[in-house]
Structures are given as structure tokens and as C-alpha cells.
Amino acid sequence: MGKRLKMEIRGAVQGVGFRPFVYRLATGLGLSGWVLNDIRGVFLEVEGDPEQLSAFRERVRAETPPRARIQGLDESWLDPIGYEGFQIRTSEAKGTKTVLILPDIATCQDCLTEILDPENRRYRYPFANCTNCGPRFTIVLDLPYDRPNTTMRGFALCPDCRAEYENPLDRRFHAQPTACSVCGPRLEAWTRTGETLARGDEALTLAAQALRRGDVLACKGLGGFHLMCDARNEAAVGRLRSRKAREDKPFALMVRDLAAARSLAEISPAAATLLESAEAPIVLLPRLGEETVARAVAPGRPELGLMLPATPLHHLLLRAVGAPLVATSGNLSEEPICTDELEALSRLAGMADVFLVHDRPIERHADDSIVRIAAGAPRVLRRARGYAPMPVPVAEELPVILAVGAHIKTAVALGLGGRVFLSQHVGDLETPEAMNAFRRVIADFLRLYEARPALVAHDLHPDYPSTLWAEEWAVEHGIPSFAVQHHHAHLVSCLAENETLGPALGVTWDGTGYGTDGTVWGGEFLRGDAGGFTRFAHLKPFRLPGGEAAVREPRRAALAVLFEVFGDDAFAREELAPVRAFSTNERTLLAQMLENGLNAPVTTSAGRLFDAVAALIGLSQRTRYEGQAAMALEAAADPREDAAWPLPLVPREGAAALLDWEPLLRALLEDLKRGVNAGRLAARFHNSLVDGIARTAEAAGEMRVALTGGCFQNRLLLERAAERLSALGFTVLLHREVPPNDGGISLGQVLVGARHLKHLHGIV
Ligand code: ZN
Ligand code: ZN
Ligand code: FE
């Protein structure tokens, strides 16, 4: 007597070959029934011999396709109804959309082999893909994930592609973006005024020639345009820098394979895995020498950002050029990446000599993700292509909440049920283009998941454009908005990623965040959870002359801390590099600002303390990108040095304790006078901070300590602090797939917002 088994499978189960897998499994076991995708996941019914059915049950779980992730599986047993054969049914589109949209997946080995095989019909075809690889997030128009709901809907399958698409035994069975040179997207090479120079394979050859010649290429990729040039050509890299108005910030490189990566950087086994992963991010790696690529690629940096090709187009281009390529976002500095070829012509015309474009529309942008390996694991610093929009599972059931992030490195988040969907990196909300991208990403998220937020959470800073947007949007939609303190959001983001409710001590260190007292926070020790926090301790405050202007001038931060300790005498200390870096007139002006506190906001910023020390050691007086001085300080630190300067914790009655850097500053000046070298000084500073963190954690007495905020992108600080805290018996919580910087803020905002909403409704 047969039985019928019904299954409902949720998670990352669409666009990964799940239905063909079920088909092959069921038919192989002689079972009949059907399988279908709908907007909630994969549904199936199989019937037949009970033994074969139980084999089916086990193998569905054990042999899932490589890219699938099952997050929930319900099953029930029913009476058989006599199905004949096994069918893959067409998708249904009713109910709540809870299926996961997959990130874009880097070209698989099978597809790569095919495009390099002259006998294969996809030889040199730049848009080959299959159920195990290819575009997903960047081409989805709607759910369920089916070809008519992607930007491939305009390309009718040719007979050969259709046969593969319909054959359950083929690797391309129901591969929605599948294509070939007969029926799929095509390349064109354009001049900077949009005239066609070449089509198809010739366009690729022409682009490769241009790159070899030293031209800058604007190349339409998976989630937007790259600007590319030969990384070995000093003049080409220099041209790209000046055209992009990007003076010092390192450029990422794309290399053809792991062997090419090994010729440029030290590749650990973990790094090799990450480079070759389906996410294919930019990985920050210790470079082998200064001479392997043009000096202008990453001036003065001990690391190179390397990535492998993520699409057949990039594989073919890299092979045709035969050199590592600079591959930087197609935009002006810090603006959103360009996705459309006509828009690219106007926005990138001044930057590129040749355009390599294609006719597969990019529905939404996705920059390259950036990952650094620290404390034994990959840590995502910029979360975009390959990672977005995979949700972060959380330890509680959430109402629908939208969170809009802070100001720089913005990413938005949507809390839904037991998950928080984190958007791709949007960028710094400082231009109208960035604000447009911000609004577009929000509208896109709400539409895709058909979400109607019950609350919108934003940063506590009253003037951030994201705050203003959220407040207005809340009024328009008749829902509450809720301000979340910046460092509280950092703490809760770290708790959430670790599926911990807390409480914990959050060492939340960054450059800037609006405090509850209206001052600029940034060197905080917050004790709490999503429900609230107390400020247990913070770095000793100081006045920062020029406020935001000081962010690009570490010498100002140095003068600020010197003034705090020595008063006016600070300006006479000609032996100090940051003092010498100001003219007499400038010093008079600074003195006035500091004395009467005009345009000199009070801050406890750890980022600015890094700046001050970098300036005092003589590493950096002015910077050109965020975090540059801190990176220089980290890079300079001699890892063998274990001495530290005093950084005492001073308890105060009725107020947060102070981590007092004054003795640290005095010891630093003594060491400078003695001529201790910069490497040892930089290391001593890091070691002192680790001592200070450990001391404060012991005083707070919370067993869990979260290290979060932009300062923890610093590997030396992260590793030494984590190691020390673990040795002292603390449970240390670190970020992994959610950035420790402001790219992770919106996750924390969602959870704090959820708690607030429960209070409003009297649930907690
Ligand atoms: Zn493939
Ligand atoms: Zn075809
Ligand atoms: Fe921050």
C-alpha cells in the first residue's frame, strides 16, 4: 500500500536548481507526484512505495544542491491519490512573499570550462550561467523567481537553450537567466559619445586592446559599471585617479585566477577559499611587494584588495588582457555605482575612453563586496554583491520594521518575521545621486517583499538626510518613527548577528555618532540590549576645532588633545609635527576656537584619538579618505612590540567612567622625545587601547563583550582585544557577515525599533 508525502521547503531554494534536484530524486526512486515554486518556497508531493518515500525524505535534506539553504521544512503524510509520472508545475503567485531572493553567484567551474572550450556551443559566450551560478538579485523584477520576472524576459530562448531549460537532467533545467550567443544578451563596444565600435566577440577583443594600450574602460558588469585599466600601467592608473577625482584611496584589482592573485599577495588557505567562493568578494590581502603593480594602485598601503572574475565576461576579459586590472566602481568618488549604459555615457564620459556594454538590464545596483580576514574568520566590511539580500536570522519574531541607517556607508534594513533583510551597500548620503539610490533601494525592498512597515527606525542625529527622510515618510504613511542612538544600534547589530539577546557590554568605537547629550560620541562602552542601554564609560572628551572639517585633518585632532592637556602652551610645541603643520595665523585661529568653544564640538571619538596619535607620530597630518590615518597607524604598528602606555579608567560619581588618555598622551610625548621609532609607537598605542578595553570590561562585569563600530575594521585592534578578553574569560561577540562600520547600523535599528514597538503596544 503506497503513501503520499507532502513537503513545504523554505529558504534559499529558488534559482539554485532545487526543482530539478527534486525531479531527479523522485524519478530515480520511482515516485510519482509534482513539485512547484511559489512565493513562499518549494512545494512538493510524492507518492509510492513507503521505503522509497523514506529514502526520498532523507535525501532531500542530505543532498541539497550546492547553493541551496533550507531554513524550514514542514511535511505531512496523506493518502495516495494515484499521480502518474512526476511533473514540474508552473509557479503560483499568491500568498505572502517569504521566499528568499538569492544573491548573484559567481561563475561555476562547469560554466567556466564550457566558455573556454572551443568545441562547446557557449565558447567565449560572456553571459553563460546555469542553476549553480549567474545573476540573481541584480536581475529579479518580481517574485516568484521565474524568467518572465527577471530582466531576461526580453530574450526568447532559442531551440537549443529551450531544450536544456526543459530537460530535468540538464544543468540548465529551469535556469532562469540561461542564454547563449544565439538568443541571449550581446556585447557592444562604444566610443565615449555612444557610437558603436564593435559587436559581440569583436567588442571584447577591442576592449582588451584598449586596456593593453593604457585606456580606461567603462565595463558594464553584474551589478553596475566598473572603471578598469591595466594595473601595471602607471600612466593609466594615474589618469583614472585624476579623472575619478580620487587621490589616494586604494583601488581594487581583478586578477584572472588564484595563481595571478598569488603573484601579487600572500594568499592563506582561508583567503583562497574566500576569493574562489560564490560571493567572490574583494579580499584585502597582504601584498608581496610594492613593485608588482603601478604605485598609484594603492599608494603606501601594505594590503591589496583582490577579487577574481565573477562572470564569464570578466573571465574572458582578464584572459584577453593578460594583466591584473584596476576594477573600481563606475562613479565619481563616493557616488552610487552606475548601472545603465545611457546613464553611464553621461556620468562616466569624462572618465572612460571606451565603453564595453551589453543589453541585459541591471534591475538594481550591487557594488563589489569587501572582506578582510581577521581573528580567524572573514569579516565583511562592505556588504553588497554576493551577500545582499540574504537575511540575517534573528532570535525573535519581528513586526515589519524599516530602518534607514545613518549617514555614511548606508545600507537599509527590513525586519520581517524571524529575519532582517539587509540591503546592498548604498553609500554616503552626501549627493543627490546617493539620496536617489537610497530612496530607490527602500522602494524596491518594500515592493519586493510587499512590506508595510509598522515603524521606521532612524539615527538619533536630527540633521542626517536619512533621519529627515524617515520622519517625513512616517508622517506620510501614518506610522511612528523612532530615533535610535548610533552606538546603541552598533551594539544591538552585533548582538543580533550573534543571535544573542544580551545584555552585553558594547565596546562601540567609531569616528562619530550623535550622543543622547547632543555631543559627538565615538569611544563608548555601552551596557545594554535592544531594550535600552546605559553609558558605562567613554573616552575622556575633548573639543575638536572645526568639527566635521577636522575629519580630514588629523593634525586638528592632535592639537585638540594637546590643548586639552597643556592649554595654550600646546601651540608653542614646535617640536611636534602637527603643531608645525599649522601656520602662526592658523594657530591663533585654532586657539580662539578651542578657548571659547566656538565651532569646536565636544567629542569622545575613538576615531579622532587615532587621528591625533597618527599626527603626533608624524604619519599623517591631512587625509583624503575616511579612516586613512587610522589605517596608516595600524599598518605602521610593529607586531613584535608589546609595551603599552597607561590608559586608566577613572570612575565618577553619578556619571559614566572615563577612560583617561591624558597619561597616554604624556607617555607618548616622552617616547617621541626619546626617539622611539614610529612602528613601536603605533603598536604601543594599540596595546594601550587593548589594556583600556580589558580594564573597562572587568569593571563593567558583563560576561559578554561586543566589539563593534568602524574602529574594529582595524585588524590589530580587533585581534588583540578579542584575544585579551577571551583570555580573561569573557564571551567576545564579533561581526562576520554584517559590517562593524555604519553599513551594519540598520540591523541594530530594526531590533531596537521592534522593542520600542512592543512597548508601545504593551506587549513587553
Ligand atoms: Zn554555472
Ligand atoms: Zn540560446
Ligand atoms: Fe558608527
What string of DSSP letters covers 376-435?
A: TEEEEEE--TTTTTPEEEEEEEEEEEEE---SSSB--EEEEEEEEEEPPP-B-TTSHHHH
How many angstroms separate the alpha carbon of residue 472 from the centre of ligand 3? 23
Establish whether the linkage from the previous residue to 503 is cis, with ω within 30° of 0: yes
Q: Are residues 452 and 307 in the same domain?
A: no
Encode pLDDT of 484-494 as tens digits: 999 999 999 99
Please tell me whether residues 494 and 572 are part of one structural domain. no
C-alpha cell at 647: 590608559
Output the CA angle 337-438-187, nearest 5 degrees.
Answer: 30
- Report CA(325)–ligand 1 centroid distance (Å): 24
Ligand nearest to the CA of 171: 1
Domain boundary (38, 59, 88) is at: 88
- Which ligand lies nearest to the CA atom of residue 508 in the structure? 3
pLDDT tens-place string over residues 218-230: 999 999 999 999 9
User: Do residues 668 and 749 share a domain?
Assistant: no
Range of the domain at 344: 187-358
597 assigned to some structural domain: yes
User: How far is the C-alpha of 747 from the C-alpha of 495, rounded, in Å?
Assistant: 10
> Is the model's pLDDT at 15 over the cut of 80?
no
What DSSP state is assigned to residue 300?
Answer: T
CATH number at residue 200: 3.90.870.10
Q: Are residues 567 and 658 in the same domain?
A: yes
Q: How many A from CA of 113 to the centre of ligand 1?
A: 9
Place 91 in a pLDDT band, splitting at 50, 70 and 90: low
Q: Ligand 2 mean position to 168 CA, how many Å?
A: 17
Q: How far is the CA of 209 from the centre of ligand 1 (A)?
A: 28
The answer to whether residues 395 and 313 belong to one domain is no
Share of the chain above pLDDT 90, in %: 81
Nearest listed ligand to the Cα of residue 743: 3
Enumerate residues 6+ apart whose C-beta is below 8 A from 682: 613, 617, 619, 633, 634, 636, 637, 638
Q: Name the residue with higher pLDDT: 336 or 583.
A: 583
Give me 185's grid cell. Answer: 544578451
Domain assignment present for 458: yes
Which pTM value belongs to this model? 0.92
Which CATH number is 436's domain given?
A: 3.30.420.360
Least confident of 7-11, 204-208, 673-677: 7-11
Q: Looking at the structure, tell me whether residues 334 and 431 fall in a common domain.
A: no
pLDDT at position 134 is: 96
pLDDT digits (tens, 9 = 90+) for 259-275: 999 999 999 999 999 99
In a domain, 724, yes or no: no
Q: 545 and 450: one domain? A: no
Q: What is the pLDDT of residues 31-46, one digit of tens each?
A: 999 998 877 788 999 9
CATH number at residue 47: 3.30.70.100
Contact 172, 130 (CB under 8 A): yes
Q: How many angstroms does the Cα of residue 709 sit away from the middle of ligand 3? A: 5
Tracing cell 555605482 back to the chain, one arrives at 337
Instruction: List, for residues 414-472, the tens digit of each pLDDT value.
Output: 999 889 999 999 999 999 999 999 999 999 999 998 899 999 999 999 999 999 999 99
pLDDT in tens, 100-150: 788 999 999 999 999 999 999 999 999 999 988 999 999 999 988 889 999
What is the 745 CA–ligand 3 centroid distance (Å)? 7
Q: Is residue 716 part of a domain?
A: no
| Nearest ligand for residue 105 CA | 1
- Is residue 379 in some structural domain? no
Same domain, 209 and 340: yes
In a shared domain, residues 193 and 82: no
> Which CATH number is 617's domain given?
3.30.420.40
Query: Is 726 within a domain?
Result: no
| Ligand 3: centre distance to CA 400 (Å) | 24
Q: Which helix (H) or strand (E) holds 635?
A: helix 628-636
From ligand 2's centre to the CA of 155, what distance in Å?
Answer: 9
Closest CA to 751 of 527, 465, 533, 529: 529
Q: What is the pLDDT of residues 551-585, one digit of tens each?
A: 899 999 999 999 999 999 999 999 999 999 999 99
Question: Residue 22: inside a domain, yes or no?
Answer: yes
The ligand with the least distance to the CA atom of 125 is: 2
> Which ligand is nearest to the Cα of residue 186, counting in written order?
2
Predicted pLDDT of residue 99: 66
**For the CA of 311, the nearest ligand:** 1
What is the per-residue pLDDT across 182-199, written as a single tens digit (0 to 9) for each? 999 999 999 999 999 999
Please spell the DSSP secondary structure of 332-367, one letter per residue: STTSPPP--HHHHHHHHTTT-SEEEEESS--SS--P
Using CB atoms within 10 A of its CB, is residue 289 exposed (0-12), middle (13-18) or buried (19+)?
Answer: exposed
175 alpha carbon, closest ligand: 1
- Cα of 490 vs centre of ligand 3, distance in Å, is 7
3-class SS of residue 220: strand
One domain, residues 267 and 415:
no
Please check the confidence at residue 97 and state whether its pLDDT lies above 70: no
Point out which residues pair with 513 in neighbouring strands. 521
Question: How many domains does the chain contain in total?
Answer: 4
Task: Determine the distance separating the centroid of ligand 3 and the alpha carbon of 406, expressed in angstroms.
Answer: 8
Burial readout 123-150 (b: 16 or more C-beta within 10 A, e: otherwise): ebbbbbbbbbbbbbbbbbbebbbbbebb
Distance CA(405)–CA(407), nearest Å, equals: 7
Ligand closest to 179 (CA) is: 2
Distance 122 CA to ligand 2 centre (A): 9
Handedness of CA 137, 142, 145, 147 (dihedral sign): negative
Do 200 and 241 share a domain, yes or no? yes
CA atoms within 13 A on the CB side of 540: 20
- The Cα 323–Cα 142 span in angstroms is 39
Q: Pick the last residue of a domain from 38, 73, 88.
A: 88
Q: What angle do CA 159, 164, 165 make, to 5 degrees?
A: 90
Q: Which residue among 56, 88, 120 closes a domain?
A: 88
pLDDT of residue 92: 64
Residue 712 near residue 458, CB atoms below 8 Å:
no
Ligand 1 mean position, distance from CA 281 (Å): 18
Average pLDDT estimate for 655-667:
98
Q: Are residues 559 and 421 in the same domain?
A: no
Residue 517 maps to a domain = no
Residue 87 clears pLDDT 90, i.e. is over it: no
Length of the chain: 764
Q: pLDDT grade, residue 19 (50/70/90)?
A: confident
203: confidence class by pLDDT, cuts 50, 70, 90: very high
